Amino acid sequence: MGKEWERRQALRVLGNKSALYNCRLIGFQDTLCDMGNHFLKDCYIEGTVDFIFGSGKSLYLNTELHVLDNGITIITAQARNSASEDIGYSFVHCKITGIGSNTYLGRAWRTSPMVVYAYTKMFEVINPAG
């Protein structure tokens, strides 16, 4: 991925098959760099812009995504290069909380990002456009 992702994060997970339970990840921009195959359950992740980013293939289960108001905020920046790559983020039975009302669910870091929000409660912090 080059040097562009080598900046400060609260946590950078590069290996495969990591599991995080009951973790609190507190940051601002680029809170979690997710670059492998991971499982996160019952976690709390806080940030503003691209606070979950990278080219991971991860399942987030029962995790709270808390957005800090910073004007326009974006939860994910997923880095999939093509539709044939088997990577992406799945948020299942999660909730999105925070302050403000101009948060977007994600943006493309590469050409074919894949992010799924299933059975996730989204509060007023999410911009209606998604």
Spell out the per-residue pLDDT of the chain, length 130, in tens: 445 545 567 888 988 899 999 999 999 989 999 999 999 999 999 999 999 999 999 999 999 999 998 788 999 999 999 999 999 999 999 999 999 889 999 998 889 999 999 999 999 999 988 6
pLDDT at 70: 79
pLDDT at 1: 45
pLDDT at 37: 95
CA–CA distance from 52 to each of 10, 25, 28, 71 (Å)?
10, 10, 11, 18
Q: Would residue 69 show up in a list of annotated catalytic residues for this protein?
A: no
Q: Would residue 42 show up in a list of annotated catalytic residues for this protein?
A: no
Catalytic residue among 34, 42, 50, 86: 50
CA proximity to 60, closest of 28, 95, 27, 84: 95
Q: Do residues 18 and 40 make contact, with C-beta atoms less than 8 angstroms apart?
A: no
CA proximity to 74, closest of 48, 92, 94, 96: 48
Q: Do residues 34 and 16 make contact, with C-beta atoms less than 8 angstroms apart?
A: no
Say if pTM beats, i.e. exceeds, 0.85: yes
